[in-house]
Each structure stands twice: as structure tokens, then as C-alpha cells.
């Protein structure tokens, strides 16, 4: 049974490689405005290792990398070390759909990517677009029509520029600004004043900490991420210190009224919401 919740759908945007300090440094006004109107932390933590495949797997399974088994930056079907309850599967069990929109993949990987998506219980996975603007375009119809469940977007721009030119380089700034204006376009499309949609924007890792053009290390610049929640159900303010990427899937479950499974490593960020619906453990 779904607990009654004002949140009917969650739109989750992964800003690949976006360091929190890029927001003030490059004047990313849409992200600043979203953080101010919602709940946010610029001191969130990502998983170890701090690479996209591990972070995405953690977002979609709620489990830490040592449990979901994907511990390098290469997408494959991993061997978990414990039972997994992927978020899209949990939602599907309650009749809620999940859609995912990512960049176009090389043909070689598109088969495995679709298999991973199906394995996770994602109802619709599209790999279409070169950058965040094109990925948002690919998602527009779904954003209009899918009013329940989960819509995930992965935007690759800042990470790509960071690998090619270094984190915080001019090219990185250009990519970060493109992500920022695309986020603004997304916010315009969503009606965040009403409480039915919860928008979550976060990075999967930082970069330029240990080495200028990578992000896989324990360095705080590689490990620290922005986490922003916005929407009518969200209470404006700071997300307490210590929040982690692993808290995001638990928060999605909680917001949609779906019980959190034991395999989830994080906790729901209940302080970020106005009402505390009863009956579901955070």
C-alpha cells in the first residue's frame, strides 16, 4: 500500500561532475535560485569510488558500491554482495513508472545499457542527445505526460569538459553554464509551486582534486557534491551536514510513500519537507 503523499512524481537530474564551488564561481544563477527556493547542501558526499557508474548504480539501487558490486567506472551487470531492491522496481511494485534519459551511447554499449535498465525495472530508457539540452528535449514529452513515479536524467556536460580540459577550465565553465540554463528550462516546464513534483538536482562526483582532469580520489574536491531538493512539498533551508548521495534514493522512496527496503544505505532527508507523513520509517 502506498502511503498518502503529496508528492506524486520525482524528477531526478544528475549533473555529472558539477562541483559545488562552480555555482558561485561561474555565476550559475538557475542552480543558485533553485537552491535558495528549495532545500540544499553544497557539502554533500558521494560514494567511493567517486565515479559515475558507481554513483548512478547507488542512486538507482539505494545501496553502496560494496553492496551493489559496481566498483569501477565501467557499466556492466555486477555481482551484488547482498540482496538489492532497485528503486525503479520498488516503484513498479506500487504501479509507479520510471523513465530514464541519458546521452546517446556508442552502439557497442547500447544493448548492455538497455539490459541494465530493464534489470533495474526502468519502464522506459532513452539514450538520445549529445548534451544536456538535447537530453532534455528527448525527455520533454515524458515530462509532460508522466505525472507519477520517477523521471531520471543524466547530463554529461561538465564531466566531459573536465576530462578534456580540466575541472574549472574555461571549457568546464561553458559546460556548467549550459547545464545551468538547461536546468532553468526544466524548472520552467515543471510546475514546482504545486506539491505534486519533487525536483532533485545533484552531482555524482566533483573533480580536479587529486588530478586536474579526473575525479576518482578521496580528495574533498572529488568527493563533495551539491544536493538540491525543490518543489511545493520542500521546506526552504539547509540540508543538514553529512547528507550523502545515498540519502537521495531513500528520500525518493519516502517522498513517494514507498517503504524503504533494508538494503538502502541512506536515510530520507525528512527535514527538507513541510509535512511529515506518518507511517513510513525514514
Q: Which residues bind Zn ion (CB under 5 A)?
A: 159
Question: Least Å distance between CB 21 and Zn ion?
Answer: 18
The owner of cell 511494485 is 93
- For β-strands 124-127 and 39-45, DSSP reports them as unpaired
Q: How far is the CB of 209 from Zn ion (least distance, A)?
A: 13
Residue with nearest beta carbon to Zn ion: 159
Q: Which is nearer to Zn ion, 48 or 263 (CB)?
A: 48
C-alpha distances out from residue 208 to 7, 22, 23, Å: 36, 12, 15
Q: Which residue number, 39 or 158, has a Cβ lying nearer to Zn ion?
A: 158
Give me the least distance between CB of 113 and Zn ion, in Å please.
Answer: 17
Quote the least distance from Cβ 44 to Zn ion, whole Å. Answer: 17
Rounded to a whole number of angstroms, the distance between the first and last alpha carbons of the chain is: 16
Residue whose CB is less far from Zn ion, 45 or 205:
205
DSSP type of residue 167: T
CA dist 174 and 26 (Å) reads 9
H/E stretch holding 51 reads none
Q: The C-alpha cell of 216 is what?
A: 576518482
Q: Which is nearer to Zn ion, 37 or 75 (CB)?
A: 75
Amino acid at each position: 500500500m502506498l502511503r498518502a503523499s503529496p508528492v506524486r512524481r520525482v524528477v531526478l537530474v544528475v549533473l555529472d561532475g558539477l562541483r559545488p564551488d562552480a555555482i558561485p564561481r561561474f555565476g550559475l544563477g538557475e542552480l543558485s535560485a533553485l537552491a535558495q527556493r528549495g532545500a540544499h547542501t553544497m557539502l554533500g558526499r558521494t560514494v567511493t569510488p567517486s565515479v559515475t557508474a558507481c554513483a548512478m548504480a547507488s542512486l538507482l539501487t539505494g545501496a553502496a558500491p560494496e553492496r551493489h558490486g559496481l566498483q569501477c567506472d565501467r557499466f556492466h551487470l555486477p555481482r551484488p554482495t547482498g540482496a538489492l531492491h532497485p528503486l525503479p522496481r520498488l516503484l513498479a511494485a506500487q504501479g509507479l513508472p520510471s523513465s530514464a534519459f541519458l546521452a546517446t551511447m556508442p552502439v557497442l554499449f547500447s544493448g548492455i545499457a538497455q539490459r541494465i535498465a530493464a534489470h533495474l525495472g526502468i519502464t522506459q530508457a532513452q539514450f538520445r542527445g549529445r548534451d544536456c539540452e538535447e537530453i532534455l528535449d528527448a525527455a520533454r514529452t515524458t515530462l509532460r505526460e508522466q505525472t507519477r513515479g520517477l523521471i531520471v536524467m543524466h547530463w554529461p556536460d561538465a564531466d566531459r569538459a573536465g576530462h578534456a580540459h580540466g575541472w574549472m577550465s574555461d571549457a568546464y565553465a561553458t559546460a556548467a553554464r549550459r547545464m545551468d540554463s538547461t536546468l532553468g528550462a526544466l524548472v520552467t516546464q515543471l510546475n514546482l509551486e504545486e506539491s505534486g513534483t519533487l525536483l532533485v538536482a545533484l552531482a555524482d562526483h566533483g573533480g580536479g582534486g587529486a588530478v586536474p582532469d579526473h575525479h576518482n580520489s578521496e580528495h574533498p574536491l572529488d568527493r563533495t557534491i551539491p544536493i538540491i531538493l525543490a518543489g511545493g512539498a520542500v521546506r526552504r533551508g539547509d540540508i543538514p551536514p553529512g547528507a550523502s548521495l545515498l540519502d537521495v534514493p531513500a528520500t525518493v522512496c519516502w517522498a513517494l510513500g514507498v517503504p524503504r527496503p533494508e538494503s538502502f544505505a541512506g536515510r530520507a532527508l525528512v527535514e527538507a519537507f513541510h509535512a511529515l507523513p506518518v507511517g513510513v520509517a525514514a
